[in-house]
């Protein structure tokens, strides 16, 4: 059974360079950093709430991660669902006709892992993971730095967002909690939630009739306790950040980092009001 989003993976040219943003500017804590020789990657995990961000740096040129970097550049690579039994998830996926990369679990940075082919999910690379019992994250104090509490949501963009949402819902038993459209923009969004993380499926309200669904990971948003203070800290670290925008949602303000995030569209969101001078880590 899938219980939550374990991590969102990103491919980077240099993990050391990427850590300048994810660890040093944001204040996320590194929980693992090692080279996985048989996969030809250096993997770094940074915890945030009950989930993690994974950075993947290729160490050889003959791997899928290296080819991804060569053809697509840095950016979001995969989403990983945590399960108590990866083997059962792979068998269940195969039984539903989903194409696998791994027919059986194998060791990875997140524990025992298994990947499905992107073709199985409209172009989105999906991983299952069962971490070692002592390494499972079940609640953390807010991260120092920007005071992030958890991954608020992950965006999956699709030319047929309703179809992609339905696919994930039926394939992984993920319940769609809410559907909305924004008048005048042509946008259609559907939302599911796993533990504390929202999966947002976003796309056009009137999809093209003659196109098959094509989806990709489009962004990650961290929840912070004080958006204004978080923006100030990230700017102090040398990054260009938009001002918090209270018009995005009736109950939230959001700001986005414009560059330096290793190709990962990134934003911070604050729900509710806090004093403007409150420190980011409270």
Tens of pLDDT along 44-103? 999 999 999 999 999 999 999 999 999 999 999 999 999 999 999 999 999 999 999 999
In terms of Cβ atoms closer than 10 Å to its own Cβ (0-12, 13-18, 19+), residue 248 is middle
pTM of the entire structure? 0.91
Residue 7 shares a structural domain with residue 131: yes
Domain residues for the domain of 73 are: 2-135
* CB atoms inside a 10 Å sphere around CB 143: 23
Residue 90 shares a structural domain with residue 156: no
Percent of the chain residues past pLDDT 90, beyond the cut:
82
Please report whether residue 280 resides in a domain.
no
Residue 129 shares a structural domain with residue 53: yes
Please report whether residue 264 resides in a domain.
yes
Report which DSSP code applies to 5: E
SS3 59: coil
Whose tokens are 């609640």? That residue is 139
Report which DSSP code applies to 24: I
- Token pair of 144 as six digits: 């120092």
Please report whether residue 47 resides in a domain.
yes
Residue 29, beta-bridge partner list: 47
Residue-wise pLDDT for 156-174, tens only, equals 999 999 999 999 999 999 9
Question: Where would I find the H helices in 149-239?
Answer: 161-172, 227-236
């Amino acid at each position: 059974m899938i219980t939550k989003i374990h991590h969102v993976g990103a491919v980077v040219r240099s993990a050391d360079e990427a850590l300048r943003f994810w660890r040093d500017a944001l204040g996320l804590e590194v929980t693992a950093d090692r080279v996985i020789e048989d996969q030809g990657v250096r993997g770094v995990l940074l915890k945030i709430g009950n989930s993690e961000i994974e950075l993947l740096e290729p160490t050889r040129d003959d791997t899928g991660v290296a080819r991804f970097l060569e053809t697509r550049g840095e950016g979001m690579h995969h989403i990983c669902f945590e399960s108590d039994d990866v083997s059962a998830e792979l068998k269940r996926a195969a039984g539903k006709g989903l194409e696998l990369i791994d027919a059986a679990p194998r060791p990875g940075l997140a524990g025992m892992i298994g990947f499905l082919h992107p073709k199985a999910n409209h172009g989105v690379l999906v991983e299952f993971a069962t971490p070692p019992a002592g390494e499972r994250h079940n609640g953390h104090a807010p991260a120092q730095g920007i005071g992030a509490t958890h991954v608020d949501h992950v965006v999956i963009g699709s030319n047929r967002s309703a179809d992609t949402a339905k696919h994930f819902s039926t394939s992984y038993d993920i319940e769609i909690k809410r559907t909305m459209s924004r008048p005048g923009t042509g946008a259609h969004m559907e939302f599911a939630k796993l533990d504390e993380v929202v999966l947002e499926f976003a796309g056009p309200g009137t999809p093209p009739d003659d196109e098959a669904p094509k989806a990709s990971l489009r962004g990650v948003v961290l929840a912070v306790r004080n958006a204004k203070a978080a923006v100030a800290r990230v700017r102090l670290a040398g990054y260009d950040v938009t001002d918090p925008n209270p018009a995005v949602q009736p109950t939230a303000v959001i700001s986005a980092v414009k560059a330096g995030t290793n190709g990962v569209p990134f934003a911070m969101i604050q729900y509710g009001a806090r004093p403007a001078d409150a420190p980011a880590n409270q």
